[in-house]
Chain A
Amino acid sequence: MKILVVEDDSTTGPYVAKGLREEGHTVDLIANGREGLLQATTCNYDILILDRMLPDLDGLTLIKTLRGAGNRTPAIMLTALSGVEDRIDGLEAGADDYLVKPFAFGELSARVAALARRPGYQTQETCLQAGDLEMDLVHHRVQRGGQEIPLLPREFTLLEHLLRRKGRVQTRTMLLEAVWDITFDPQTNVVETHISRLRAKVDKPFESDLIETVRGAGYRIAG
């Protein structure tokens, strides 16, 4: 994919650009808001990654101007501000996703992948599958190797979320938001606990593990 990164920080910018290049993307890095806007309007990008505070033109104004001009390229806003108000401001300005600094590269990479696949749900699906695991969305039943696995409603949602994004990393914050509708970061490792419960039912009694931990990023079901 072709990605534009507009970030003035001399460490974060190159770090993000390098990481994305290593994943096989084509990346342009620009450190100035006004130039970033020019670049975004003149070239066609698949995804924009914008810092909120930029010299000459801040990220909010940049994205507002782009959206005002009819440019609908998916955009992730990077920001030091993580209040609910700030998130809402960012999303209202036209950003598609919002990532609070400091972030791990895994988080950004997972969100880039998530944005690239939008709109996401193929609603006609009645059955999801990974390896020998089958999820029946109509009857809310999960089987693995022909063996029925009883799941609590929220465990079902969590597994469904991972299955629908097979092969893509889902970070803690992405899971919190998607499964429990929580936009802040709890101090307790609730996600880990819920994943380990799910693993106890889905993976432990079987020979191979479906749910992988991606170090420094999150979780994934191999696809």
Chain B
Amino acid sequence: MVRGIALQADPASRLKRLLNSSPMRQSLWLSLLFLLVSAISLSVSYYVARHSQEQALQDSLIQDMIGYRATPSATALVRLVQAEMSQTDARRRLISYRHLGGQVVAGNAAITQQQEGFGLVVLGENPTPVHGSFLLLSERVHGGLLTIALSAEPLHELRETFVGVFLFSLLPTVGIALLGGMFLARRSARSLRALDAVLSRLTSGDLGARVQAERMAQADLGRIGSSINRMAEAQEKSTAALKQVSADIAHDLKSPIQRVAVQLEHLRQIEALPPQAQQIADQAVAETSSIVDTFQSLLQIAQLEGGSPRGRFAPVDLRALVSTFVEIYEPVAEEEGRRLNLDLPGDPVTVPGDKALLGQLLANLIENALRHTPPGSDISVSLTAGASPILTVRDFGPGIAKAEQTNVLRRLYRLEQSRTTPGSGLGLSLVQAIAELHEAPLDLSNADPGLRVTLEFGVPGVRVAKPSALSI
């Protein structure tokens, strides 16, 4: 169920993830670049083409003007203009002739100019029956101003052609690039998800997890996958070696200890043994068992730190566990005149974990408090509910100086004040290792008076499920 939530993201965040993926971003950038380059080259060719078109229009205006200039007199020019006007299409060509500073003598008044030279006008308002833009040339001829205008429509047509070329050639290209990018992004996202899943399985202690690198479509991701596989293999081998060494040490040391225990047992069974010798034998038995305990804790810490699998994690009710352990230790505390206070929430508090290890953690914390505080002082164990349950074990003893608080988590470290109390100096290191395995940060602080040890568990439900099969 938890896993389902993680994978089924809402559409908005899926789109965001898709856009953020590197192939998608690459194809977006490439499309943008392609668009930009094409736009620049098209505009340059457009301006070159437009310029030569304009030049052609101007040349033809100049040619026309030379023709009119060839008329012998103003009257002849007026007649020629009138004759031309009746024959040419007003949408293509317009002519007007007027006296300087006076009214139009012949032609279309719409295009009259005040000055000589080239110009561009746009006609369209009433009462002119003529529309569109025109390129015109005005020059003095026979004491009047002659203006010839040619339709600039070819220039517009040119622009439309270029816009058409732009739209019909570029947009599909960009669209195809984007779709391709999306396709690649989704494909590589699948591979990346697979890599990610394998990596998180490896970090959570499942050293058998492997990437199916040969099935990855992208060669580069496949290579990364193979590297991850090689790394996992090396890690698996060294963990196996560590386990083998631990097992060998355990076997090679414990067998002699077992023999000592057997011999001590024989010694104790001798009927004629004087009481003093009996007592020494008892002490020796106690010592052997404390050697075994120290040794056991060291092995266990090494195993926990060497990537003990979280695969066996199951939901654990912390409330029930805490209450059981307080119940177990209550009589011990009461014998020393202590109260073991318990503060629990009303509902079960479930976290993913290893019940046996969490029990050991609780036992170590309570025993630690019992051992390092004077008889008669109380101990409080509390648990809070909520998204991040907090387990607190607090005593009312001398506490631990701030400077020593990190030291006590070190293996075999013992405070000067605790040299005479029993214990291996491994209790809190083991607590630390178990806390780390459960991703519950361990914090030691002064409660004034006393030591407060807190563990904050993560959000319940996270990391319980692990993907059983990977599809790439």
Contact = CB atoms under 8 A, between A and B. Distances in A.
Interface residues on B, range: 35 or more
Interface residues of A, number: 35
B265 A83 contact: no
A83 B312 CA distance: 14
Given A180-B328, A190-B329, A83 B303 contact: yes
B423 A197 contact: no
A12 interface: yes
A216 B422 contact: no
Nearest to B259: A11
Given A11-B263, A81-B246, A88-B312, 12 more contacts: A11-B262, A80-B247, A83-B299, A102-B292, A103-B258, A105-B265, A180-B324, A186-B328, A187-B371, A190-B331, A190-B332, A216-B265
Interface centre among B255, B261, B300, B427 (most CB of A within 10 A): B255
Nearest to A153: B327
A83 B357 CA distance: 10
A166 B260 CA distance: 32
A141 B360 CA distance: 32
Q: Which 4 A-B pairs have the closest CB atoms?
A: A80-B254, A102-B258, A11-B259, A102-B261
Contacts of B293: 185, 187
B296 A85 contact: no
Contacts of B261: 102-104
Contacts of B312: 88
Nearest to A11: B259
Given A193-B331, A193-B332, A12 B259 contact: yes
A103 B422 CA distance: 21
A84 B367 contact: no
Contacts of A12: 255, 258-259, 262
B215 interface: no
Contacts of A102: 254, 257-258, 260-262, 288-289, 292
Nearest to B424: A187
A216 B268 contact: yes
Interface in A122-178: 154
B418 to A, nearest CB: 14
B250 A80 contact: yes
Interface in B343-371: 354, 356-357, 359-360, 363, 367, 370-371
A212 interface: no
A80 B255 contact: yes
A184 B363 contact: yes
Contacts of A204: none
Contact of A186 (B250, B253, B308, B367): B367
Nearest to B300: A83
A184 B354 contact: no
Interface in B21-35: none
A71 interface: no
A214 interface: no
A9 B253 CA distance: 12
B367 A184 contact: no
Nearest to A8: B255
A52 B370 CA distance: 36
